Structure 1
Amino acid sequence: MLIPDLPTAPWQKVGTDLFHYNGKEYLLVIDYYSNFPEIALLTSTIATNVITHVKSIFARHGIPKTVVSDNGPCYNGKEWQQFSMQYGFHHVTSSPQHAQANGKAEKGVHIIKQLLKKATDAKSDPYLALLSYRTAPLDCGLSPAELLMNRKLRTTLPCYTQIKRNEEIQTKLDNLKRKQKNYYDKATKTLTPLAKDDVVRIHDQDTWSRKATVLQEVGPRSYKVRTEDGNILRRNRRNLLKTKEHFQEAGCDDAQSEDAVSLPNKVPKLRSNGHGQSNDETSALPALRRSERHIKKPVKLDL
């Protein structure tokens, strides 16, 4: 038995393989150092699709130095060769009909299939099952997540984790935030807080056309307001302009408009006498007439 060269740091050497489960195709990438697995659901097994998902995984954890795979069609093509040259990693393939050469990925496929099967049988979340495996301690006493990320991942299980704070980094971050605040505050002014029932104008698309009244403050510098048409919106203080206008909801206007519409309905219907004339209260209705305002004709300059 040949012992492969073990990496000295996480994500230096990874194994990858494709597997089929429950009518779907999956991609597996597993780290040789930490046994941390990454899986992706594939819509097809063509090389371009597999390479896209591998790029997504490398964008999260970095580009490894060595990638081990079998001689599948997606790994033994011109596209994968160009991908390895572009990203700068060494691609190692196993001998055909000899799966032991890619044993890390084969074992990872077996573990992931067992996790998916148990999650399906128990009708539970497969992502939580994958998280549980990533946070379970290995024989070395540390979990795959701790070996890869140097921290414990939070799960649904209660556990005590003491967070180690780096005072030097925390101080640098605080100073950076204060510097950003000082630069930003130079071109701003403090806005007075709003109170309930204050009338404001809402800033929408470079206009202050909509009028509203303040209902309550729901967060720091964030308010719920009711517009004149009855809509309840949430806006930041910088998008609200306090005014001294009178606020009137659309309900009052609607009531007036309903009364105006109902007036013609109260007029009795006209009954015809058969000669094109009505014999009811038509004579009591006022006759329409034009305005008696005298209109002066414009004086034009005659040249």
Structure 2
Amino acid sequence: MACRDWSRSPGEAIDFSQSEQTKNRTHKKTKEANQDVYQALLAYRNTPLTASSKSLAQLLMGCHLNEPLFAHPSSLNKDDCDADVDVEAKLKSRELQEANFNRQCRPLTELLVGTPMRIQDQANKDWGTKAVVTDHVGPCSYQLKTYDGSLLRRNRLQIKASAECDAPAEADAQPAINPSAIDQPLQPSATAVDPPPPPRRSTRVTREPQRLEYL
């Protein structure tokens, strides 16, 4: 079964749903046509990815694989694919993609051990699970311990500050109250408050409409 989510853990596999779909479609078509599935996979490996690029076999082995289709003998040599040039172009493409992706990215603040946090639930995207940071296990991964004793490893994007850690800061930000000012009676204000003005009534003379003059 193909994975549905993109893994955020560093160094792990990301997503293989596209390759799984290609394999399943190829197997289904060859079964309906009563043909060999391995010949279909061989043809897929020799098919160029784009109109101007090389096939999977060329990128992996440096040459075409031997298949029933007619091919020039020179295409079966390993000299037709320069691996160093392909690797250099692939590295440049990766650097360009990384620069474009990180253009709007900002590093998140590092979490300290013992900080109360909230964990996002992957099922309903809720932030109701409370936990405490116990260890920093990776560049963007933290190990947390929930209130029921479970140990979880989550990405930094799936963790946010809890209200418990914001309460002391808000309490410290309140101004201090002078005790001597509490015992003193409140002094009346020197400025007198004017009473509200009485409601005004309209002095406009109302006249009956002309359609009532026949009465």
Same fold (TM over 0.5): no
User: TM (normalized to structure 1)?
Assistant: 0.29
User: TM (normalized to structure 2)?
Assistant: 0.39
Q: Which has the higher strand share?
A: 1
